[in-house]
């Protein structure tokens, strides 16, 4: 992908996992089946995610794809916010931290079938699949260390060399 592009798996983009939700109106899901394509069943646990959190996730995946998926990725929070078109300041830093928490808590089970109805992809059924596998924040460095579960690889448009 070009430097300015970000992507997410088609099954996520075509589902209701990220929604235009008004502040304060988010639902808490407990195994909810999301609206998705006919060939996929997606179950979701966690706070309803919004479009701003989609930006955070796509940028986190972009940053993570620069090294082996699943390994630690260090991101400076100010640069990260600027990369998604946000300002930097106390409000935005708190917003980013809340987004990281919501994405780390968010858990999915994704099952995709081919056109003949045979299983094509099943992720998260036997071991939790989180949007962000985990993160730590270093106050002194003003940086996050995060991890993206390598099981996202079959769903992501990333180079096979990573």
Q: Of the candidates 7, 29, 31, 38, which has an alpha carbon nearest to the alpha carbon of residue 15?
A: 38
Taking each helix axis as running N to C, give the angle between helix 90-105 and helix 51-64, from 0 to 180 degrees, rounded to the nearest 10. Answer: 80
The answer to whether residue 42 sits within a structural domain is yes
Cα within 13 Å of Cα(77), Cβ side: 24
Q: What average pLDDT score do residues 127-145 get? A: 92
Residue reference for tokens 């955070």: 56
Structural contact between residues 31 and 113, judged by C-beta atoms closer than 8 angstroms: no
pLDDT at 9 over 70: no
The answer to whether residue 162 sits within a structural domain is no
The answer to whether residue 18 sits within a structural domain is no
The answer to whether residue 45 sits within a structural domain is yes
Q: Of the candidates 155, 132, 129, which has an alpha carbon nearest to the alpha carbon of residue 9?
A: 155
Write out the two tokens for 84: 């998604």
Domains of the chain: total: 1
The answer to whether residue 71 sits within a structural domain is yes
Given this model, what pLDDT does residue 162 score?
A: 33
Asked which of 3-17, 57-71, 104-118 is least confident by mean pLDDT, the reply is: 3-17
Task: Kindly report the CATH number assigned to the domain that includes residue 72.
Answer: 1.10.10
Q: Of the candidates 66, 86, 94, which has an alpha carbon nearest to the alpha carbon of residue 159?
A: 66
The answer to whether residue 129 sits within a structural domain is yes
The answer to whether residue 20 sits within a structural domain is no
- Write the CB contacts of 131 (distance below 8 Å, at least 6 apart in sequence): 49, 57, 103, 104, 106, 108
Residue 139 domain boundaries: 28-155
Output the CA torsion sign for 150, 155, 160, 161. negative
The answer to whether residue 66 sits within a structural domain is yes
As a whole-number percent, the residues of the chain with pLDDT over 70 amount to 86
Q: What average pLDDT score do residues 45-71 get? A: 88
């Amino acid at each position: 992908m070009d430097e300015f592009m970000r992507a997410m798996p088609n099954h996520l983009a075509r589902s209701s996992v990220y929604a235009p939700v008004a502040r304060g109106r988010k639902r808490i899901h407990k195994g909810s089946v999301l609206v998705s394509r006919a060939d996929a069943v997606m179950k979701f646990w966690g706070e309803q995610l919004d479009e701003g959190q989609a930006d955070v996730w796509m940028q986190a995946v972009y940053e993570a794809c620069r090294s082996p998926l699943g390994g630690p990725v260090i991101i400076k929070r100010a640069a990260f916010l600027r990369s998604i078109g946000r300002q930097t300041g106390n409000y935005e830093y708190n917003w980013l931290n809340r987004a990281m928490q919501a994405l780390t808590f968010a858990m999915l089970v994704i099952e995709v079938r081919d056109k003949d109805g045979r299983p094509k992809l099943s992720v998260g059924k036997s071991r939790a699949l989180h949007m962000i596998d985990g993160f730590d924040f270093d106050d002194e460095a003003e940086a996050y260390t995060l991890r993206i579960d390598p099981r996202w690889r079959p769903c992501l448009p990333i180079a096979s060399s990573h």
